[in-house]
Amino acid sequence: MAERSDEVKLLGMWASPFSRRIEIALTLKGVPYDFSEQDITNKSPLLLQLNPVHKMIPVLVHNGKPISESLVILEYIDDTWQNNPILPQDPYERAMARFWAKFVDEQICVTAMKVVGKIGEEREAVVEATRDLLMFLEKELVQKDFLGGESFGFVDIVATLVAFWLMRTEEIVGVKVVPVEKFPKIHRWVKNLMEINVIKKCIPPEDEHLSYIRARMEKLKFKAP
Amino acid sequence: MADEVILLDFWPSMFGMRTRIALEEKNIKFDYREQDLFNKSSILLEMNPVHKKIPVLIHNGKPVCESLIQIEYIDETWPTKNPLLPSDPYQRAQARFWGDFIDKKVYSATRLIWGAKGEEQEEGKKEFIELLKTLESELGDKIYFGGETFGYVDIALIGFYSWFEAYEKLGNFSIEPECPKLSAWAKRCAQRESVAKFLPASDKVTKFVPELRKKIGLE
């Protein structure tokens, strides 16, 4: 548990999956924190000072020392507060967890983001590419309740991006990227996640989140040629 | 039971070099298997079905992919000799941050230097120098990135050093005057046994790069 004297602050943004994963981890560990909502369209001097290299949220500030990049922050949280471990203990299992986390961020997220900006055949191709990647997660979930195995862990926290961002966005974008017929295990896993109190508490409220995404989409469409 | 360690690798890969160096730091003997990346072997496809990329570390039959993850795996599996990551959580986070920076930023800039032409190549070169300067300011007056001891960030970056001459030739620029401290760091690392053993000679890489450019249709 956190020391009384610990000062923990999170610079984040309520609708960001990267920021929310830090809230999930801190909540899971029972670490109290101050949340500082950041305007990502007009970056604050504090953010620029604390993350001069990437200038991005989330930034965790622990007793005055800043840490950025969400996967790095999650590992830091797990190294610092050891109750309710997020990563497995076994080195091979840890390596696998890191592998899938990286896969979610560098492959699924990067590919899925392109769906929004494309139309017609190009969109179809990106949707197919995203599905090919998601199929690896679908296979990982065979006979498992969570991506971490029996219990909720690191990869599940990271992959909330799929469960609550990608899968919420698809209704608004108008393409079913993750149809239940193709991905029954991913859909079952989302249901399992919804049973977890920390998740219920830490994901953005659906209505507000959907209106936010809708507004963002409108802006993007407006900008598109 | 003796550990069986196999490394699927390709000699000019700065990612593969990381894993070779990390294993050597731990004094772990391994079976090095050179891969043809233009005609991928069935073992590579089987061991890394997601990315189909080297390096793949196979420990007692189980594959670990992605070089930075391999370094952590090696450090956690053989923790006693030459720890590669710092034990302090904040220092560990810093090391991981810079490792990630090297993968996300530095590699893509160098990819443009050897894998592009004209304006794009010029962009890559400018970006690369800026990134090296950022790394140089992080290094400061320290001996290694982690301080007194050779570790994770040094291993993550040093492989690029064997390509410096090739980048300089392609981009017609000089790294040392721009980044004197980083250059001194690289030379210091190159003296280290594990690095000396597994970093290919610069002229060998420089000779290889035109071949690579031909293969991807640039020359």
- What does the alpha-carbon distance between residue A42 and residue A117 come to, in Å, rounded to a whole number? 23
Question: Residue A3: is its pLDDT beyond 70?
Answer: no
Q: CB contacts < 8 Å between A and B, how many? A: 56
Same fold, A8-80 and A91-223: no
Instruction: Give the mean pLDDT of chain A.
Output: 93
Backbone angles phi, psi at B108, to 5 degrees: -65, -30
What sign does the CA torsion over B178, B112, B144, A68 have? positive
DSSP string, A73-140: HHHHHHHH--SS-SS-SSHHHHHHHHHHHHHIIIIIIHHHHHHHH--HHHHHHHHHHHHHHHHHHHHH
Q: How much is the ipTM here?
A: 0.96
By DSSP bridging, strand A8-12 and strand A34-37 are parallel
Q: What is the pLDDT of residues B25-48, one digit of tens each?
A: 999 999 999 999 999 999 999 999
- Position A218 scores a pLDDT of 82
Question: Residue A225: is its pLDDT beyond 70?
Answer: no
Which of B97, B105, B108 is the best residue to mutate to test the A interface, defined by the most A CB atoms within 10 Å of its own CB?
A: B97
Q: How far is CA B130 from CA B122, B126, B135, B167, in A?
A: 13, 6, 9, 14
Interchain pair A53, B101: CB under 8 A: yes
Which of A3, A79, A87, A133 is the best residue to mutate to test the B interface, defined by the most B CB atoms within 10 Å of its own CB?
A: A79
Judged by a CB distance cut-off of 8 A, whether residue A91 touches chain B is yes
Strand, helix or coil at B113?
Answer: helix
Q: What is the pLDDT of residues B155-183, one digit of tens each?
A: 999 999 999 999 999 999 999 999 999 99
Question: Residue B206: is its pLDDT beyond 70?
Answer: yes
Interchain pair A95, B69: CB under 8 A: yes
**Domain spans of chain A, in order of start:** 8-80, 91-223
Identify the structural domains of chain B with CATH numbers, from first to last. 5-77 (3.40.30.10), 89-215 (1.20.1050.10)
Q: What is the pLDDT of residues B56-69, one digit of tens each?
A: 999 999 999 999 99
Angle at A63 between CA A57 and CA A69, to 5 degrees: 25
A18 confidence band (pLDDT: 50, 70, 90): very high
Using an 8 Å CB-CB cutoff, list chain A residues near B22.
none
B2 confidence band (pLDDT: 50, 70, 90): confident
Instruction: Give the mean pLDDT of chain B.
Output: 96
- Return the CATH superfamily for domain A8-80: Glutaredoxin (3.40.30.10)
Q: What is the pLDDT of residues B106-156, one digit of tens each?
A: 999 999 999 999 999 999 999 999 999 999 999 999 999 999 999 999 999
Which of B67, B73, B87, B152 is the best residue to mutate to test the A interface, defined by the most A CB atoms within 10 Å of its own CB?
A: B73
For A117-127, what is the mean pLDDT?
89
Angle at B208 between CA B170 and CA B15, to 5 degrees: 90
- What does the alpha-carbon distance between residue A95 and residue B74 come to, in Å, rounded to a whole number? 10
**Closest A-chain CA to B76:** A91
Q: What is the pLDDT of residues A35-72, one digit of tens each?
A: 999 999 999 999 999 999 999 999 999 999 999 999 99
A217 confidence band (pLDDT: 50, 70, 90): confident
Q: What is the pLDDT of residues A65-82, one digit of tens each?
A: 999 999 999 999 999 999
- What does the alpha-carbon distance between residue B57 and residue B19 come to, in Å, rounded to a whole number? 8
Interchain pair B89, A80: CB under 8 A: yes
Which residue in B172, B165, B46, B88 sits closest to A63, CA to CA?
A: B88
Judged by a CB distance cut-off of 8 A, whether residue A222 touches chain B is no
- Position A115 scores a pLDDT of 86
Backbone angles phi, psi at A9, to 5 degrees: -130, 140
Q: What is the pLDDT of residues B80-105, one digit of tens each?
A: 999 999 999 999 999 999 999 999 99
Q: What is the pLDDT of residues A87-97, one digit of tens each?
A: 999 999 999 99
Interchain pair B73, A73: CB under 8 A: no
* Distance from the Cα of residue A101 to its chain's centroid: 10
Q: What is the pLDDT of residues A165-191, one digit of tens each?
A: 999 988 888 889 999 999 999 999 999
Interchain pair B59, A76: CB under 8 A: no
Q: Taking chain A, what is the end-to-end CA distance rounded to the nearest angstrom?
A: 52
A148 confidence band (pLDDT: 50, 70, 90): confident
- What does the alpha-carbon distance between residue A140 and residue A187 come to, in Å, rounded to a whole number? 13
CATH class entry, domain A91-223: mainly alpha
Which residue in B87, B169, B91, B183 sits closest to B135, CA to CA?
A: B183
- What does the alpha-carbon distance between residue B138 and residue B106 come to, in Å, rounded to a whole number? 14
How many residues belong to chain B? Answer: 219
- Position A117 scores a pLDDT of 79
- Kindly report the nearest CA distance between residue A22 and chain B, in angstroms: 14
Comparison of pLDDT for B51 and A120, the residue scoring more: B51
